Amino acid sequence: MASIDVPDAWASELPELELGFRAIDDRFSLYQPDSELSRIADGRLSLSSASTILLASYSRALEWRSTTGGNFSPHRPDGTIDLNGIVKAEAIEQAGAHLTEAGCPEWSINVGGDLLVSPTGDATLDSASATPRAPRLVRAGIIEPLSPTELLCSLELRHPRRAIATSGSAERGDHIWRAGSIAPTQFVQVSVVANDIVTADVLATAIVAGSDDALDDVTSRWDVDVITVDRSGALRMTPGLLRALIKDAPELGTDL
């Protein structure tokens, strides 16, 4: 489910964005038997004959597989190409680029809990008074995976940290694969805050798949913030995320 928040003056852009999301689903869904990716999966279409759009996403996913040491992969254990781990983020990325190019000053896009907000700096221009005003901040909530009706924490997305993605088994069970196998992983939920939504989404999946080693690798090599929940309910988070939570909610203190 997609939720897009824009000022009323830009509401006319929403139908085009909806068509874009639908076109991506029609091309990449493995649940639709006649999608392009389904036809590749069952042999009706060769990968060499695939569209440039699909090949571009596949190539991007392969680059991430290499970069993450296989913790993120576009292949299921049986070899089927599955681009679900990247195309949702790409759809959000493309919708955001469309709104920015259309001149929309502030927007937020939430698809399945992955959230991207507009690249607003410290201030935007008030069209009525032609004077700078503070941007409207967007607060992202992270669910408690061991009790999904409760909120684990929330934080405000602000430039340049304007994307957050969450991966794990809380809602869909163990479904993330690595190195050709599916197995229970250390973390039941990982949220990554980054400057772009594809990085956030891919790295959240990579950390779930690769557990502690992947967490250490990601946080040492990428400029991101991370919060994890393991199977015992224990929390771990990067210092940047801890500072953001304390800044947004001082009453929480420092026992996070």
Residue 32 burial (CB < 10 Å; 0-12/13-18/19+)?
A: middle
Residues in contact with 128: Cβ distance below 8 Å, sequence separation at least 6, in sequence order: none
pTM attached to this predicted model: 0.88
Distance between CA 73 and CA 86 in Å, rounded? 10
Residues of the chain with pLDDT under 70: 121-136, 170-184, 246-256
**Which CATH architecture fits 2-120+137-251?**
Roll (3.10)
Encoding tokens for residue 81?
């190409």
Model confidence pLDDT, tens digit, residues 234-247: 999 999 888 878 66
Whole-number Cα distances in Å, 124 to 40, 102, 104, 161, 183: 46, 16, 11, 17, 47
* Number of C-beta neighbours around residue 74 at 10 A: 20
Residue ranges of domains in the chain: 2-120+137-251
Residue 70 burial (CB < 10 Å; 0-12/13-18/19+)?
A: middle
Model confidence pLDDT, tens digit, residues 128-182: 444 545 556 788 989 999 888 899 998 889 889 999 999 987 655 555 666 555 5
